[in-house]
Amino acid sequence: MASAEGQQHPLKIYYIMWVALFVLSGFSYASDFMEHGALRTSVILLLMFLKAAGIVFIFMHMGWERLALKVAILGPPVAIMVLIWLMSYEGFYVEDTRIENYGPSTFEPQAVPHH
């Protein structure tokens, strides 16, 4: 529990979190070799949230703070879910109107040049 002296925790917790971040990031990188699809997307998002939670709760000590601070800081970002929903809805609508009015893309992509 946090005391007047601040956040003082055993070093072991940080070492475990550090190693966990390395392992999870390794998995994240490995996910780039997966086939595109729902499974790959889920793996990417799951690893992202696990790493984010580890950083916020252990490294940033949010897990040991008062519930009042947790609610005040972690609560508002939930509203972003609404923005994501609105903007994806809008995005698909814009895509549909573009196809309807301008037709499908005529862009001919070139291969990535490597030197």
Partner 1 sequence: MSEAVLEPVGAAGVVNDFARDKQVFGVPWGKAMMWIFLLSDTFIFSCFLVGYMSVRIATTDPWPNPSEVFALSFGGDPIPLILIAIMTFILITSSGTMALAVNMGYRRNRKATFWLMVATAALGATFVGMQAFEWTKLIVDEGVRPWYNPMGAAQFGSSFFMITGFHGMHVSAGVIYLLVIANRVRNGFYEKRGGKYEIVEIAGLYWHFVDLVWVFIFALFYLW
**Site residues, partner 1 (CB under 8 A):** 2, 5-9, 11, 14, 17-18, 21-22, 25, 28-29, 31-33, 41, 44-45, 47-48, 51-52, 55-56, 58-61, 65-69, 71-73, 76-77, 80, 83-84, 87-88, 90-92, 94-95, 98-99, 102, 104-105, 107, 109-115
Nearer residue to partner 1 within complex by CB, 39 or 88: 88
Minimal distance, residue 29 CB to partner 1, in Å: 5
> Quick one: the chain helix, strand, coil %, rounded to 5?
70, 0, 30
Minimal distance, residue 60 CB to partner 1, in Å: 5
E-assigned strand segments in the chain: none
73 Cβ partners below 8 Å, 6+ apart?
62
Cα-trace Rg, the chain:
21
Which two tokens mark 69?
């601070």
**How many whole angstroms separate alpha carbon 44 and alpha carbon 33?**
12
Minimal distance, residue 67 CB to partner 1, in Å: 5
Minimal distance, residue 115 CB to partner 1, in Å: 6
